Amino acid sequence: MQGVIKSYDPGTGDGVVVRDTDQAEVDLGSGALEGSVFRMLRQGQRVVFDLDGAGRATRLRLGSEVDMGTPGFPAPPTPSPGGDAVGDPAGPG
């Protein structure tokens, strides 16, 4: 899922993410930043996250422009069977 940080308290680790799809507010789960590049979050910061069993945001991470669905950043080509990653069905050679 993708969203934007609405609030974050670095002292307690409490925070809220606004989900892109329906603008719902999702609380951060405990340890949401563990293992991520984030040490701090700021209001308005875009993130990609998962939901835990209780519906809280967890595993916060940066998304690439492709992950975020930013216009002007098309998805990378996928390799076809027997072809190369650039889209040449005959492959190299």
Domains of the chain by start residue, with CATH: 2-68 (2.40.50)
- Compare 70 and 52 and report the one with higher pLDDT: 52
Whole-number Å distance between alpha carbons of 78 and 7: 37
pLDDT confidence bin for 25, thresholds 50/70/90: very high
- The predicted model gives 80-90 an average pLDDT of 55
The predicted-structure confidence for 41-52, as pLDDT tens digits, reads as follows 999 999 999 999
Whole-number Å distance between alpha carbons of 22 and 42: 21
Which pLDDT score is estimated for 50? 92
**84, 65 in Cβ contact below 8 A?**
no
CA dist 56 → 30, 36, 59, 61 (Å): 9, 16, 10, 15
